[in-house]
Structure 1
């Protein structure tokens, strides 16, 4: 089969990117012709390793021109000026409520539409509402079209939900991450083929934590969704009892300045550290003793499952959706009422107090992660693709 995955930015660091790379590698290993297409490209190489059998291309190159590049001619300057005018105009098709709306200016929309109209064979998998909507409207009807949803329906803004209701029925299948997601989408999209396929971890061969280091870890974009503005005050409540523990928060984002100010306000500069981006997250997880998810909402929090592959117990707000689909409260982690800072602090303190609890829950977390192993999850994708070829009457092989 020829399988194409369309991402917004294959050169970023998000969980969706990593899971698509992992899935593409498995599909290539099974003998399929696989390509990842990045809507935008802002750097030369991706952050995650990609199997050499998987092709990687981009639609819109936003890298800075090389210093030794020849001066553009008259036609090139005219086209560049036209592109710049389009870049200054907001998207016309992507709903403004889409979380990635800023990336879809008029130029990007036009180029994505041009790409979608040029592809006439195989399976096209799109990976966020903006790309799903564009594919539903403009991708060739000869394609087998599959929409991936990495967020639960309730977190999408109303204009995005209206677009989902209007356009998603055009897909051959819509894949969501959890059973609760599927129930919600079924109410909105009656008659549409909906499947629940979780994301897979990239490997189960991780070094495990021994739960001795007095380090708690959190990771994600420094954005309101991730709730670090609640986690930092919660950590303040436990640090007096546990002054030898520290919290390491990995990630980058627009809220770094505000979070830094919050750390200063609570005098936590010796206890809470904004670590920025790291290419060594596996090592950082191994060095930690438990993981904390303080999100206001999630899709399926892959970083939680990645932490579990290191035998880390997880403390998480029971936010919509995902955490409760992964964590069994009291067994492999703790689920806390959403946005309850006091309860979060109490759970953190309890985990710090009890090494045996960390060991026991960590062992159960490792068992939980097994159901997200690549060999298990990716067979679900191949079975879906095979069945779509059989039932759609469309070809998934390359056109002659």
Structure 2
């Protein structure tokens, strides 16, 4: 039987949660389907892709600070280019990731009369979409065949303008290339770890300040990721005289080395879609402290059992919980062991099977 052709459509394949999910799913689904990834902008994939996964791009580069005229031109340009690429590669079903890309995907797919799935990756109430795009999303999303979200909270939001039966909750898969590097024999070091973009959303500033207040002897704080707050955080680290104990590591490929070595994972985000980094840290057996933000952490962590949930923007709670784990190595082990056990349902085969079921059901209609 001829293999069906599936296309993922996403802005780019740089480092990031959505990009990792697309790369992981593309690799896993390529065992059953012919996979093409269509990116809006050309870039070298940050995460590994199987040789069988085909990557094509709409444009060579991103042009920021676009005028209204250029934005409208881009809108029609992307729809037309995606339409042509879907037709050229004889795609049977299209899967969009992220709001604006989802809109391009739905319109292009409908023009070709092929089914499409769209996937939201951030809690919509905290999305950076302007009012124009929010109105377009409300009008266009009902034309999709299915919307995939990660949490119950996000599903409830979209039920205001989408039929509940057209919304499916599927968690993010843990990347197998990451999990194969889990090594419990690595000696733990006195490191508090955070992984994520350096932005106000991720709130690493609170973590740096909490670390400064505690001033734990011989401990280090390491932040993996890049973002617009990098210079601000560098200045804060210097101001607090933490240059010898707090390190901004940037984007790195060997994040597993840091998950293996760290003793605590701290995640003070103000909002999430579904927190990949938190899931990864738990899968590596790290005791995790997370803000109980919308949405995701409360569906991962049972407080004081397999991690700790603290109120959003509660600096005292962050400081006190960090101190608790720093001073109690036995607690770190107990919580970390429970965290690792609780993430087995996020392994790629389990999540891929849910995607396969959804894709197959739409292709059979």
Give the TM-score of the pair, scaled to structure 1. 0.83
Corresponding residue for residue 365 of structure 1: 339
Report 1:260-279 matches (<5 A): 260-279=234-253
Q: CA deviation at 1:390?
A: 2.5
Q: CA deviation at 1:372?
A: 0.3
* Distance in structure 2 (CA, Å) of the matches to 1:225 and 1:207: 28
1:186, 1:192 within 8 Å by CA — same for their partners in 2? no
* Distance in structure 2 (CA, Å) of the matches to 1:89 and 1:228: 30
Corresponding residue for residue 347 of structure 1: 321
Three-state SS of the structure 1 residue aligned to 2:270 is coil
Change (3 A) 1:91 1:389: farther
**Which one of 7, 11, 15 corresponds to residue 4 of structure 1?**
7
* Distance in structure 2 (CA, Å) of the matches to 1:133 and 1:319: 27
2:292, 2:298 within 8 Å by CA — same for their partners in 1? yes
List per-residue Cα deviations over 1:44-98 (Å, max 9, x = no partner): x3221101111111111129xxxxxxxxxxxxxxxxxxxx8xx774356xxxxxx
- Residue 175 of structure 1 pairs with residue 148 of structure 2: yes
Report 1:254-333 matches (<5 A): 254-333=228-307
* Distance in structure 2 (CA, Å) of the matches to 1:50 and 1:301: 22
Report 1:37-116 matches (<5 A): 37-42=38-43, 45-62=44-61, 89-90=66-67, 105=71, 108-116=74-82
Q: CA deviation at 1:135?
A: 2.4
Corresponding residue for residue 33 of structure 2: 32
Report 1:233-272 matches (<5 A): 233-239=209-215, 242-272=216-246
**Which one of 225, 233, 237 corresponds to residue 201 of structure 2?**
225
Three-state SS of the structure 1 residue aligned to 2:364 is helix
- Residue 336 of structure 1 pairs with residue 314 of structure 2: no
List per-residue Cα deviations over 1:25-59 (Å, max 9, x = no partner): 11111x211111111014xx322110111111111
Corresponding residue for residue 158 of structure 2: 185
List per-residue Cα deviations over 1:218-243 (Å, max 9, x = no partner): 0111111110121111111211xx22
Corresponding residue for residue 137 of structure 1: 107
* Distance in structure 1 (CA, Å) of the matches to 2:161 and 2:287: 35
Number of residue pairs matched?
Answer: 352
2:8, 2:94 within 8 Å by CA — same for their partners in 1? yes
Q: CA deviation at 1:128?
A: 0.5
Larger Rg: 1
1:6, 1:36 within 8 Å by CA — same for their partners in 2? yes
List per-residue Cα deviations over 1:174-226 (Å, max 9, x = no partner): 00011221122213323660000011001243324567310010011111111
* Distance in structure 1 (CA, Å) of the matches to 2:162 and 2:68: 25
Change (3 A) 1:89 1:288: closer
- Residue 163 of structure 1 pairs with residue 163 of structure 2: no
1:211, 1:355 within 8 Å by CA — same for their partners in 2? no
Q: Structure 1: which 5+ runs fail to align?
A: 64-83, 93-103, 392-400
Which 4+ residue blocks in structure 1 deviate beyond 6 angstroms? none
* Distance in structure 2 (CA, Å) of the matches to 1:270 and 1:162: 49
Corresponding residue for residue 216 of structure 1: 192
Give the TM-score of the pair, scaled to structure 2. 0.91
Q: CA deviation at 1:370?
A: 0.6
Corresponding residue for residue 181 of structure 2: 206
2:188, 2:260 within 8 Å by CA — same for their partners in 1? no
Change (3 A) 1:355 1:122: same
**Which one of 7, 20, 23 corresponds to residue 21 of structure 1?**
23
Q: CA deviation at 1:153?
A: 2.1
